[in-house]
Amino acid sequence: MAPFPRRTRISMDVEAVMRAALVEAGYGPDAVGSALPRIMRILEAEDVRLEMGRVLSRKEREYVRLQLELGLSVAEIVKSLKR
């Protein structure tokens, strides 16, 4: 089956999908609320690795983790790592 044309694809927010999956799995609001930020940071860190196109060193992974906790975007982190 051919994929839908770009204009008819439904774009879902990753955070909303993760929240719905956790709720469907039976997690309560407190568990979802505390786990979701960590899950999103893990996914964002993976986005950084994919953007870099290589495995990150331990020092780089720690840098990425800290920058994500500070609220920097994936694009900002990738830009700083490429310098």
For residue 3, count other CB atoms closer than 10 A to its CB. 7
Residue 39, both tokens: 């899950």
Would residue 26 be called left, alpha or beta, if left means φ above 0 and alpha means ψ between -120 and 50 degrees?
left
Confidence (pTM)? 0.75
Q: What is the pLDDT of residue 83?
A: 87
- Across the chain, which has 83 residues, the per-10-residue mean pLDDT values are 47 85 95 93 94 96 95 94 91
Tokens 């840098």 belong to residue: 63
DSSP secondary structure letter of residue 5 = P
Among the listed residues 40, 56, 54, 52, the one whose alpha carbon sits nearest the alpha carbon of residue 78: 52
Q: What is the pLDDT of residue 5?
A: 46
